[in-house]
Structure 1
């Protein structure tokens, strides 16, 4: 079980970082400097990570016996900047 939590944690971290890179670096490059290349690359990576995050959240819902409310909160966190970091700290078991 710890292995799967660790994998979900890494997906969560990568999803959050890709979203922040998309918002704070790629989008300004596209709209302020007319350089859209990074948006397509980072956007694709973020899209894949987002799907993996939602699938992983559902898997955690089943394995950790989360309530439906917790699942919804964790999924909403995926669309908020820094949200996955919050979900990690609040809803995943501590690995210590």
Structure 2
């Protein structure tokens, strides 16, 4: 307890794969914690996976004018076609990490 063995890399990229924002945290930091901090330069939409579903985070980003688009965990979420298509482009971030 209290020890960590590594780091996490948090990256925000645009739809072409260019890096917009980067933050490195210790391994014991919750993935959702640095999002609001590194999303300062984001306007309109931010796409993430299911692990970023969090009402307080969504409200904090909404106050900055950013809509968080994530997958769904249980109940169906109504979303625009464009946002569903952009969520499918997750492979871009996997390519940047590789």
Larger RCO (alpha carbons 8 Å, 6+ apart): 1
TM-score between both structures, scaled by the size of structure 2: 0.28
Higher helix share: 1
Higher strand share: 2
TM-score between both structures, scaled by the size of structure 1: 0.29
